[in-house]
């Protein structure tokens, strides 16, 4: 069975639950960019609760622009800001220091295009999870998927449409704010480390 997903910035846990439980992955790269989605944002567990990390993008006068053509706005030092936020959130987690060096290219390399950054972040997370995975990319956009062998998980990129509820695991600040569900996969990685893959394989994904 093949699944179809949007590349996003350090994807939510629901993305990786889908990836861990199916055989083949295709990334949608022919879609039009939509604001207020996780294409350029992710959510982490900060000392004050849930925190949004947003990648600034260059705005265009075009009414429709493909996601693969979206450029990152580098006038703001968002990479430094994001890494500082991750440090504040996860420095005391069991596995932050273990994965810190692996993740640094995302916060040091200057990507021009959002798509390239998202795919590199995805590749790094897969390596951290020891997940051997190859993927295809779309060559044409279809609003509806009619192939019965393809499961359309593209809706997961829109957090408002993703109603997944997963089992709790220990989080750094859960004594303050309780368990926060379906954050960035980084939250799971920093807290569960080598046990993250077992967790992903055992969750139930609502479709």
130-165 confidence digits (pLDDT tens):
998 889 999 999 999 999 999 999 999 998 899 999
pTM of the model: 0.95
Whole-number Å distance between alpha carbons of 27 and 138: 6
- What is the 3-class SS of 83-102, one letter each residue? HHHHHHHHCCCCCHHHHHHH
Q: How far is the CA of 172 from the CAs of 46, 54, 65, 109, in angstroms?
A: 9, 22, 39, 28
The residues, any chain, with a CB within 8 Å of residue 178's CB and separated by 6 or more, are none
Domain regions of the chain by residue span: 2-202
3-state class percentages of the chain: helix first, strand second, coil last, to nearest 5: 40, 15, 45
pLDDT tens sequence across 36-94: 999 999 999 999 999 999 999 998 777 789 999 999 998 989 999 999 999 999 999 99
For 21, the enclosing helix (H) or strand (E) is helix 13-21
Whole-number Å distance between alpha carbons of 172 and 115: 30
In this prediction, residues 92-104 reach a mean pLDDT of 97
pLDDT-above-90 percentage for the chain:
90
């Amino acid at each position: 069975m093949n699944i179809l997903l949007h590349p996003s910035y350090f994807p939510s846990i629901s993305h990786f639950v889908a990836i861990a439980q199916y055989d083949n992955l295709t990334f949608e790269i022919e879609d039009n960019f939509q604001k207020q989605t996780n294409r350029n944002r992710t959510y982490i567990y900060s000392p004050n609760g849930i925190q949004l990390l947003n990648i600034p993008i260059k705005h265009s006068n075009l009414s429709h622009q493909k996601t693969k053509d979206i450029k990152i706005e580098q006038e703001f030092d968002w990479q430094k800001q994001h890494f500082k936020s991750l440090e504040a959130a996860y420095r005391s987690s069991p596995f932050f220091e273990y994965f810190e060096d692996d993740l640094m290219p995302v916060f040091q390399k200057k990507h021009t295009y959002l798509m390239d950054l998202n795919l590199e972040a995805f590749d790094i997370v897969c390596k951290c999870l020891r997940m051997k995975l190859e993927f295809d990319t779309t060559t044409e956009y279809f609003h509806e998927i009619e192939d019965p062998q393809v499961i359309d998980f593209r809706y997961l990129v829109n957090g408002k449409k993703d109603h997944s509820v997963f089992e709790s695991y220990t989080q750094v600040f859960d004594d303050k704010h309780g368990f926060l569900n379906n954050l960035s996969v980084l939250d799971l990685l920093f807290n569960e480390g080598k046990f993250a893959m077992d967790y992903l394989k055992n969750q139930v994904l609502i479709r």
